[in-house]
Amino acid sequence: MKNKIRLFIFFLFLISNHNSLIAQENNMKEKILSSYGFVHGEKVFNAIDDLIVHLKSGEIKENMIYGKEKSFSLNQINSISKSIEYYNTDTSEIELKLLNAFPFPNNRYKLQFSLTDKKDIENPLKMIFEIMAHANDNSIQFSSILDYHTSFWRTKKYGHVTYYYREKINEDRAQSFAQKNVMLATRFKKEPVALNFYMVENYQEILPLLGYVYDESSIGKIRDGLGVLENVIFSVMNNEDFSHDLFHFYANTVHEKATSNWVAHEGLAYSWGNAYYTNINNGEMADQKELVEELKQYLEKNPDTDLLELFENNFWKPKDDIYTHLAPDFKAGRLIASILCDAIYKKHGMEGVHQLIASGRSPNHFDPFYEIIDDLLGITKKNFHKKVKKLIDNY
């Protein structure tokens, strides 16, 4: 009997606890609905309920998206949906809910959501994110928050590239990037794309521009940029040159990304673009010329270095003592790949380059690359060191 009473009391506790949560939510909803300027009332809440369902299922429909930059917003809200999927694991119990909503001029409402994992007792909060809602006579649609954050930024156009920045811009770098955009497009026989380029100090600054007020999985990530996302780029450490990833972008317009050879991709991106990351001493992008020079000096001091070994072992991860005084991210293996790609381009033009990229990734990224450089340059694993050393010496 005692046990039954205990169970009954526990049951009462559960009901009252649950009810207090609902009461809290209703309270929040009432506060929002009664706030000044919240003129579209329940309609906004119905649309939010619908949005939450779609964010969870990953099925964001184009008719839910507002504005002229539709494809960017669709991509952006889809990527929030993918982040929700990332946190939704076998061991998690995620909860997605509206935290706040408030009105802005032109029938806009800024929506803030939280994503928590109820099973993660220590760190339940996974994300806080924002999406803009736009109300019109018939419906509520949604967009990325980017425009809201950057509409007052300065803009300047170089070639096909529109830069968005807050204080100043490095004209030389901007001009050089605009030229590289044309060069890369020309090599791949494409029209140069129009790009919107946002200048930011670091990766953490990109996140709130895209609506991620907080994202647990991005903590500690600093040195990366982001793009090309539907023709939008966010700078790497406030540098105007994003040509490394722009190479990947153009190559992917011609070749299937999922099956392209990544040794070729990185080699060409290092050569035709840059090494993606900035030099920690001066904020400049490291280019191939500078990295070749450093490698030459290293080889002089370490004459026993085997270039084949360096190529294979330092493609995915950096080797400590070659480039770390410049930055933690430059990889000697990719630089060697860039030298081989240059030799192919010089001898066989774009035909050779296409062959390299299309060589695939089976059984790994290296084997098909070796096959092509054997075919086109006569470089084998046996003569690799000698021949590559000769190529390096000619820079």
Tell me whether residue 44 or residue 264 sits nearer to Zn ion (CB atom): 264
Residue 67-96 contact track with Zn ion, rule CB under 5 A, x = bound: ------------------------------
Q: Output the smallest distance, CB 384 to Zn ion, in A.
A: 23
Q: Output the smallest distance, CB 95 to Zn ion, in A.
A: 36
Q: Output the smallest distance, CB 198 to Zn ion, in A.
A: 20
DSSP run (H or E) holding 11:
helix 2-33
- Tokens encoding 77: 């809200």
Are 45 and 35 a contacting pair, CB within 8 Å? Answer: no
Counting every residue written for the chain, the total comes to 395
In single-letter form, the type of residue at position 68 comes to K
Query: How far apart are alpha carbons 87 and 84 in whole angstroms?
Result: 5
Tell me whether residue 70 or residue 354 sits nearer to Zn ion (CB atom): 354
Sheet strands (E) in 287-332: none
Map residue 25 onto helix, strand or coil.
Answer: helix
Tell me whether residue 242 or residue 345 sits nearer to Zn ion (CB atom): 242
Q: Output the smallest distance, CB 48 to Zn ion, in A.
A: 38
Interacting span for Zn ion (CB under 5 A) from 73-81, 89-97, 122-130, 269-277: 269-277
Q: Output the smallest distance, CB 245 to Zn ion, in A.
A: 6
HSE, CB side, 13 Å, CA atoms: give it for residue 123. 7
Are 329 and 277 a contacting pair, CB within 8 Å? Answer: yes
Provide the β-strand partners of residue 102.
110
Tell me whether residue 141 or residue 239 sits nearer to Zn ion (CB atom): 239
Interacting span for Zn ion (CB under 5 A) from 160-168, 195-203, 228-236, 266-274: 266-274
Tell me whether residue 269 or residue 356 sits nearer to Zn ion (CB atom): 269
Interacting span for Zn ion (CB under 5 A) from 24-32, 97-105, 106-114, 261-269: 261-269
User: 288-293 long-range CB contacts below 8 Å, 24 or more apart?
Assistant: 288/335, 288/338, 289/395, 290/326, 291/323, 291/330, 291/335, 292/335, 292/339, 292/392, 292/395, 293/395
Interacting span for Zn ion (CB under 5 A) from 136-144, 209-217, 235-243, 268-276: 268-276
Task: Report if residue 269 touches Zn ion, rule: CB under 5 A.
Answer: yes
Question: Residues binding Zn ion: what is the number (CB under 5 A)?
Answer: 1
For residue 235, the Cα-to-chain-centroid distance in whole angstroms is 10
Task: Give the interface with Zn ion as residue ranges (CB under 5 A).
Answer: 269
